[in-house]
Amino acid sequence: MRVCLLASGSKGNAIFVESSGTRLLIDAGLSGREICSRLQQLDVAGEDLDAILVSHDHGDHCRGLGPMARRCGLPVHIHPETLAALPKLGRIDHLHEFDSGATFLIGELQIETIPLTHDAAHTVGFRIHGAEGTVGVATDLGIATRLVRERLKGCRVLVVETNHDEELLRDGPYPWHLKQRIRSNHGHLSNTAGAELLDTLRWDGLEAVFLAHLSETNNTRDHALAAVERVLRPQNLCQPQLIVGQQAAVSCCFVA
The 10s digit of each residue's pLDDT in 191-236 is: 999 999 999 999 999 999 999 999 999 999 999 999 999 999 999 9
- C-alpha span between 5 and 103 (Å, rounded): 23
Q: Are 178 and 211 in contact (CB under 8 A)?
A: no
Q: Are 138 and 26 in contact (CB under 8 A)?
A: no
Q: Could you tell me the fold of the domain covering 2-255? A: Metallo-beta-lactamase; Chain A (3.60.15)
Burial of 9 by CB count in 10 Å (0-12 exposed, 13-18 middle, 19+ buried)? buried
Report the run of H or E that residue 167 belongs to, with start and end: helix 166-171
- C-alpha span between 2 and 84 (Å, rounded): 32
| The pLDDT of residue 227 | 98
Cα 135 to chain centroid, rounded: 10
| The pLDDT of residue 17 | 98
Report the run of H or E that residue 256 belongs to, with start and end: none
Query: What does each C-alpha distance from 197 to 40, 194, 201 come to in angstroms?
Result: 33, 5, 7
The pTM is what? 0.97
Tallying the residues shown for the chain, one arrives at 256
For 48-66, what is the mean pLDDT? 98
b/e 22-35 (16+ beta carbons within 10 angstroms → b) = bbbbbbbbbebebb
Q: Residue 2: helix, strand or coil by DSSP? A: strand
| The pLDDT of residue 235 | 94
For 144-148, what is the mean pLDDT? 98
Question: One-letter amino acid identity for 124?
Answer: V
- C-alpha span between 211 and 105 (Å, rounded): 26
Q: Are 200 and 167 in contact (CB under 8 A)?
A: no
Q: What are the backbone dihedrals phi and psi of residue 224, each rounded to the nearest 5 degrees, phi first?
A: -65, -45
Per cent of the chain over pLDDT 70 is 100
Domain map (residue ranges) of the chain: 2-255
| Mean of pLDDT over the chain | 97
